[in-house]
Structure 1
Amino acid sequence: MTETYDYIIIGAGSAGCVLANRLSEDPATKVLVLEYGGSDKSIFIQMPTALSIPMNGTKYNWKYMTLPEPGLGGRQVHCPRGKVIGGSSSINGLVYMRGHASDFDEWEALGARGWRYANCLPYFQRAESWQDGGDAYRGASGPLATNAGNKMKNPLYKAFVDAGHEAGYITTEDPNGHMQEGFGPMHMTVKDGVRWSTANAYLKPAMSRPNLTVITHAMTRRVILDGKRAVGAEYELGGGQRIVAKATGEVLISSGPIGSPHLLQRSGIGPAALLQKAGVAVLHDLPGVGENLQDHSEVYIQYACKEPITLNGKMGLLSKAMIGAEWLLFKKGLSVSNHFESGGFIRSDASLQWPDIQFHFLPAAMRYDGKKPLDGHGFMVLTGPNKPKSRGYVRLRSPEAHEQPDILINYLDREEDREGFRRCLRLTREIIAQPAFDRFRGEEIAPGKDVRSNDEIDAWVRETMESTYHPCGSCRMGEDAMAVVDSDLKVRGVEGLRVIDSSVFPAEPNANLNAPTIMLAERASDIVRGKPLLAASNAAVGIASGIGVTQRSGTPLRTLQH
């Protein structure tokens, strides 16, 4: 069977849904979306507080696991990726954080021409509908609804922000606006109490268009090349039925930081020696495909709480049933939040020009996967170095689409990353020790007060560190020999083929990745269509005091000493 389209989009995730909507705005353009996952109608996807369920199951999650990680004593780490319309935006923690302006200027410095902050900001705004309306930084009428959850009603959220200020840091009213650095609220992708994934925001509103075809449960086996031009895709439906879809325009891969390099490699595009070893004919030798993989990682620093006000008191079956019923009936209450409602961004060293540590604060002591809650009341800080230096890879094992590739993040491969975690722990302890927490702070549960020396901290991090679920960089944008795509996201040396998702990020932004991935797809949709790009923003960027002089970003300014 053969079908013909102008554009074929492979993957209906955070980027693919955006592309499907924007490209099909032109009724003369025929668009096909291929997605291996299925419907997102589950209550566990749509209810924000239930995020740990789809994230840790297999129905909506590829459930990738890394190879044994040398830096973690051989532990394998879970790397969840969405297997459903909306992709990872349908199973993630719903956090909406864009990154620091300097992150995108860094992209341009690394060879991603045109991707500096001033060029990206207008696309963040175009994508967004912020609860308080638009301004020079926020969008007011975009498809993606963002808000501040329950606006820090639990007093522990404000205690964390106040403690950061008492520790010598500044506060910020909007980390997605003028000033990222400092302590303040965190934002999330929720609308009227419902998870606002890219499936809800972009794909579903476009699916009534006659020029948009979405095929679910379709495994794309390979991109079809005619010489050095992509001309279509071969995909497989249930029962082994194989179909070829032709593209008269372009094939756009949006399968994510694991799926996109794996698909390129299965299609004969990648490092020649790797492809030959796996039994794949080399159609285009591109050595960077699958390399440069990086990820944020974090530890859970937990404390007992002296007052019975934490979410640990809501873990029983009756409490969960009542929370669920309130969501079903009214879309209100604890169910409408991801519970990461305050946080912070700081610099770990006086020499740094922008933040490299992120804090997620949670008024509960538990795990991100929902397991092992504290028997009693507690709270925790999730933190890790946000500009990792370690690099890994995604490498196919065989031509078989259903066989997961080898994934190695190489966590803690670099001393800079190990030192980053030491600083994260010590700085967190200083913050929680501030007077704002005196009425709440009990004993330190994890790692425990006896973990003090570098060796003790390193051992604890190796044993307990987890992914923050932000892999990227495996199809890096740039101009050097190891770059996979150019600044227009075209695969280097192949016509009619682009990669558009977080795999093209040259480096990790200092934030969660859903927001910058959506921004990237918004801007890419204009590039693909040949439309004039939105004018660069001249909005000022907030710069904290003490840059290059002190580690603290507020007053009193103090140098960090240990």
Structure 2
Amino acid sequence: MRSYTADYVIVGAGTAGCVLANRLTEDPNIKVILVEAGERDRHPFIHVPAGFVRLLDHPTVTWRYHTQADAETSGRAILFPRGRGLGGSSAINGLLYVRPFAEDIDSWEQSGANGWNFGNCLPFYRRSETWTEGSSPQRGTHGPIQVSRVENPPEICGAVVQAAQKAGLQFVDDPNSDTRGPSIWYYQQTRDGRRRSSAARGYLRPAMGRSNLTVVTGLQVSRLEMNGTHVSGINGTTSADIPVQIRATREVILSAGVIGTPRLLEMSGIGDKDVLDNAGIKTRIALPGVGNNLQDHYVVRLGYRVRGAGTANERSHGLALAREMMRYVVSGTGVLTYSAAIVGGFAQTRLATRPDVQFVIAPGSFVAGRIGVLESEPGVSCGVWQMRPQSRGHVHLTSSEITAAPTIAPSYLSTELDRNTMVEGLKIGRRIFAQPEVARYIVDETVPGRQAETDEALLQYVRDNGSTVYHAVGTCRMGDDAMSVVDSEMRVRGTTGLRIVDGSVMPSITSTNTNATVLMLAERAADMIRLPMAEHAASTYSKESV
């Protein structure tokens, strides 16, 4: 067995883990070991923005999870991508940078997460980013993550923006700083020139030369090392089946994500006793909220065949793709710099008093309307998701075997409001694409198709074709009640020496894309961890080559 020691051991080199590794090691007296089950972010598709569509079910850079089949989604086991490797899901996501509505964060404080309101969090959103168009009270210019506009969007994107305005949405120049009601706007990307600006690239790479940071890849953590209720380290196994023990003199910090973090807690005997008994795991600390409160955005797409407009479809096959590849290599422009969408929007259905659906509109269309394989003929797509779903699911182990995947049950569409909101969102999307500014390009609606005219038919399409938007959160929620897993400083209840810093601590899902908020969470957590450090003498540490 190999044994190592550090002040802080971080489990998971995803978005939050990379932030923490950078910020904590800014103090040269603090020794950190960052542990990742995957490998280094060497795959070329990670760094090419459009490459994300080829990574969503990749055998080495994702965990290849699927949800539990559910009748509400037509009995399908839905692909549930989670990044595996340096950068985590920030290395495979759609690069869309959208902050939440202020009231989303304010609701955390109202639900028992003391101090977690938007005013307190805004400085940490700013700290994490370099907005390429300059500083403002809302935007930052010195952060590790590069945020930029989409350059030279295709003509049809401008037509969609005009059509949405005709349909009643207000154009917003910067959705991350302007006041937002029902609106249409262009997405911003976490992109640095031609390359993805992932957490690994922005935060971890600059810190890897520090002598007080050790990064260990290919290490699968099997359980937490505990002395009573105190967590003193981790145990794991390398890809070569060599057992490893790493001791933390201050804290173990779990940043393994919405699936990995509750999984590791349950493997270690921390969780709901009934769940642990079912999996054959002895309960060491009863914490019933572990793995519950799973929330996610569920998306379904309208698809349109178009003519007279350049789209990604015809530029992504054969000689056209070869030309785009050359264009990308020479100038860093073109279709390979596109992210998951170019135009975004917030709309308010008749069921809500504020915007409750978000649009992801792309100059490209996918086979069967599901993101992955682009159609060969020109097309555009309009994805719709409910911003604040009521559905709640869970992530739980059913076996004590380290290789067994947990059950992932998001319970999409389990409430009437969620079902009705998705149908109403599709109707608004159709209304936008019926406006003359964009309708002049449209040949036909390919999915769900004009035959889906009734609410019942639209709902069936939603059940049959929807998927995750990769925004899952909440399985170790922050709060002050019996079902919360961490307190307002992200310390795990009933333990000492253990903290969770990742999207699993969000009490409720933010209305928009979640990566910007995970960056904020980790930045703020780093401050919470570092503030007491001045009171501590420099720790002793024996650094060994791992």
Query: Normalised by the shorter chain, which TM-score bucket?
Result: over 0.9
1: CA distance, partners of 2:91 / 2:403: 21
Alpha-carbon offset, residue 372 of structure 1: 4.5
- Within 1, Cα distance between the matches of 2:422 and 2:197? 32
Residues 128-150 of structure 1: CA distance to partner in whole angstroms, max 9, x if unpaired? 00010110111011111000122
After superposition, residues 341-380 of structure 1 pair within 5 angstroms as: 341-349=342-350, 351-352=352-353, 354-366=354-366, 371-380=372-381
Match of 1:95, SS state, is coil
Distance 1:360 1:466 in 2: 13
Letter in 2 for 1:401: I
Which residue does 1:555 correspond to in 2? none
Q: Letter of the aligned partner of 2:325 in structure 1?
A: G
- Per the alignment, residue 31 of structure 2 pairs with 30
Stretch deviating more after TM superposition (10-19 or 306-315): 306-315
When residues 70 and 438 of structure 1 are mapped into structure 2, their CA distance, relative to the original with a 3 A threshold, is closer
Aligned equivalents of 1:180 and 1:29: distance in 2? 41
Which segment drifts farther, 292-301 or 373-382?
Answer: 373-382
Distance in structure 2 (CA, Å) of the matches to 1:260 and 1:355:
32
The 3-state SS of whatever aligns with 2:61 is: coil
Query: 3-state SS of the aligned residue for 1:174?
Result: coil
Q: Distance in 2 between matches of 1:479 and 1:371?
A: 41
Q: Distance in 2 between matches of 1:326 and 1:42?
A: 20
> How many angstroms does 1:306 deviate by?
2.3
- CA distance in 1 between counterparts of 2:104 and 2:441 reads 35
| Pairwise CA distance, 1:500 | 0.6
Which digits, 9 at most, give the CA deviation of each residue in 1:461-484, with x for residues without a partner?
111111111111111111111111
- 1:443 and 2:448 equivalent? no
How many Å separate the matches in 2 of 1:223 and 1:365? 45
Instruction: Indicate the larger mover: 308-317 or 510-519.
Output: 308-317
CA offset digits 1:160-210 (Å, max 9, x no partner): 221111111211111111223311111110002100000000001000000
**Structure 2 match to 1:71:** 72
CA distance in 1, matches of 2:350, 2:493: 37
Question: 2:491 corresponds to which residue?
Answer: 490
Structure 1 pair 372–60 and aligned structure 2 pair: CA distance change class (3 A): closer
Looking at structure 2, the residues matched to 369 and 248 of structure 1 have their Cα atoms a distance apart, in angstroms, of 47
The 1:349/1:108 distance shift into structure 2, 3 A limit, reads: farther
* Deviation at residue 375 of structure 1 after TM alignment: 4.1
What pairs with 1:156-555 in structure 2 (closer than 5 Å)?
156-181=156-181, 182-338=183-339, 340-349=341-350, 351-352=352-353, 354-366=354-366, 371-530=372-531
Q: CA RMSD in A?
A: 1.5
Structure 1 window deviating more from structure 2 (180-189 vs 138-147): it is: 180-189
1:420-455 CA-to-partner distances (Å, cap 9, x unmatched) read 111111111111111211321221111111212221
Q: CA deviation at 1:223?
A: 1.2
CA distance in 2, matches of 1:350, 1:92: 30
- Contact 1:366-1:372 at 8 Å conserved across structures: yes
Separation in structure 2 between the aligned mates of residue 205 and residue 369 of structure 1, nearest angstrom: 36
What letter matches 1:338 in structure 2?
Answer: S
> 2:400 and 2:429 mapped to 1: Cα distance?
46
Of 289-298 and 300-309, deviating more is 300-309
SS across alignment from 1:126 = helix
Q: CA deviation at 1:51?
A: 1.1
Distance 1:329 1:22 in 2: 35
Decide whether the 8 Å contact of 2:54 with 2:372 is kept in 1.
no
Alpha-carbon distance in 2 for matches of 1:162, 1:370: 25
Q: Distance in 2 between matches of 1:53 and 1:374?
A: 15
* Aligned partners of 1:99 and 1:509 also within 8 Å: yes
Question: Which amino acid is 2:491 matched to?
Answer: K
Distance 1:241 1:186 in 2: 45
Could you say what secondary structure the match of 2:122 adopts?
helix
Query: Quick check: 1:99–1:516 contact (8 Å CA) kept in 2?
Result: yes
Point out where structure 2 has 5 or more consecutive residues left out of the alignment. Answer: 534-546
CA shift, 1:17, in A, is 0.2
Cα distance in 1 between the residues matched to 2:319 and 2:457: 40
1:148, 1:341 within 8 Å by CA — same for their partners in 2?
no
In the TM superposition, 1:121-160 aligns within 5 A as: 121-152=122-153, 154-160=154-160
Distance 2:69 2:351 in 1: 35
| 1:256-288, Cα deviation, whole Å (9 max, x unpaired) | 101110011001100011112212121100000
Shift of 1:371: 4.2
Matched residues in 2 for 1:370 and 1:73: separation?
Answer: 18
SS at match of 1:240: coil
Q: Residues 213-269 of structure 1, C-alpha deviation per residue, up to 9 Å, x if partnerless?
A: 000000011111111111101111123211111111011000010111001100110
| CA shift for structure 1 position 6 | 0.5
Match of 2:537 in 1: none
**1:417/1:370 Cα in 2 relative to 1: closer, same or farther (>3 Å)?**
closer
For 2:500 and 2:292, how far apart are their aligned partners in 1? 15
Contact between 2:155 and 2:309, CA under 8 Å: does it hold in 1? no
* One-letter code aligned to 2:522: A
Q: Contact between 1:300 and 1:381, CA under 8 Å: does it hold in 2?
A: yes
Quote the offset at 1:377 in angstroms. 1.4
My pick for the range that moved more, 63-72 or 338-347, is 338-347
Deviates more, 1:81-90 or 1:442-451: 442-451
The one-letter amino acid of 1:446's match is V
SS of aligned partner of 1:6: strand
Q: CA deviation at 1:349?
A: 3.2
Unaligned 5+ runs, structure 1:
533-562
Q: Distance in 2 between matches of 1:66 and 1:339?
A: 22
| C-alpha contact 1:69 1:409 (8 A) present in aligned 2 | no
Question: How far apart are residue 316 of structure 1 and its match?
Answer: 1.1
1:113·1:487 contact (CA, 8 Å) conserved in 2? yes
The 10-residue stretch of structure 1 (387-396 or 321-330) with the greater mean CA deviation from structure 2: 321-330
Letter in 1 for 2:7: D
Q: What letter matches 1:365 in structure 2?
A: S
Q: Displacement of 1:399 after TM fit?
A: 2.1
Q: 1:325 to 1:59 in 2, by over 3 A?
A: farther
Cα distance in 2 between the residues matched to 1:351 and 1:308: 35
* 8 Å contact kept, 1:472–1:503: yes
Partners of 1:254 and 1:371 lie apart in 2 by 28
Q: What amino acid maps onto 1:112 in structure 2?
A: A
Conservation of the 8 A alpha-carbon contact between 1:340 and 1:361: yes
Q: Tell me: CA distance 1:369–1:73, structure 2 relative to 1, closer, same or farther (3 Å).
A: closer
1:2, distance to aligned residue in structure 2 (A): 2.1
Answer whether contact 2:96 2:340 (CA < 8 A) is retained.
no
Q: Matches of 1:419 and 1:448 in 2, distance apart?
A: 19
Paired with 2:375 and 2:84, the residues of 1 have a C-alpha distance of: 31
Preserved contact between residue 14 and residue 517 of structure 1 (Cα < 8 Å): yes
What's the counterpart of residue 2 of structure 1? 3
The answer to whether the 8 A contact 1:339-1:363 is kept is: no
Q: After the TM superposition, which parts of structure 1 deviate over 3 Å for at least 4 consecutive aligned residues?
A: 367-375
User: Aligned equivalents of 1:42 and 1:140: distance in 2?
Assistant: 29
Does the CA contact (< 8 Å) of 2:351 and 2:421 recur in 1? no
Shift of 1:337: 2.4
Measure the CA separation in 2 of the matches of 1:349 and 1:106. Answer: 22
Does 100-109 or 212-221 show the bigger shift? 100-109
Cα pair distance change 1:168/1:332, threshold 3 Å: closer
Residues 157/339 of structure 1: CA separation in 2 closer, same or farther (3 Å cut): farther
- 1:29 alignment partner AA: I
Range with greater deviation from structure 2 (362-371 or 160-169): 362-371
* Shift in Å, 1:330: 3.5
